[in-house]
Homo-oligomer: A and B are copies of this chain.
Amino acid sequence: MVQKGILVVVSGFAGAGKGTIMKQLVSEYDNYALSVSATSRNPRPGEVDGVNYFFKSREEFEEMIKNDELIEHAEYVGNYYGTPKAFVEKQLQEGKNVILEIEIQGAMQIKKKFPEALLVFIMPPSAAELKRRLVGRGTETPEVIDMRMKRAIQESEGIENYDFIVVNDVVEDCTKRLNGMIEASRYTPSRQADFINEVRAGLREI
């Protein structure tokens, strides 16, 4: 029997390197899948349905909300975004760990709905390094950088709600540590409930 995969929720400050780590994780290990979001916005040139997003009309999206087909959803500037449950469930059943990048409030909602989700918070090695990375991108105005640093202060208050923190020093090391955390988490009693009950039943029968 294939053991069910783990739903891994990844959060972290902008500039902490979430995207890089998640790409590295998926390319290096074959038992991971990135969750694909659904959205009601129009596809941009080059975007592929089912790869970048599941593209839906507003009506279809609202139907999905009504039918509880989304793990979580939100509306930004007039468009819906959300995580389709069916895709996640299918991957988990096939034994894949599904990675879901989501900010801290969304992560808390998911933990309520899926207590078995693993919550991981990605951090820079230091506050100074975070600022260096944001400045180094060269694409952000000082105002945006300032806003992101302020947001990081707010978000940092919620770190204690996560299961693990991953310090993004060297991407390869950090990906390996993250994989180690997810592997270890397969062996918590709640995730091994079937096995434990099987052994218990066996002990009583002998």
Contacts and interface: CB of A to CB of B under 8 A. Distances in A.
Given A127-B205, A165-B188, A183-B184, 6 more contacts: A153-B200, A153-B204, A160-B196, A163-B188, A164-B184, A184-B184
Nearest to A153: B203
A156 interface: yes
Interface residues of A, number: 42
Given A165-B196, A184-B181, A196-B165, A206 B159 contact: no
14 contacts: A124-B199, A127-B199, A127-B201, A127-B203, A127-B205, A153-B200, A153-B203, A156-B196, A163-B188, A164-B189, A165-B192, A165-B195, A177-B183, A184-B184
B180 A184 contact: yes
Contacts of A156: 196, 199-200, 203
A109 to B, nearest CB: 19
Interface in A121-169: 121, 123-124, 126-128, 130-131, 149, 152-153, 156, 159-160, 162-167
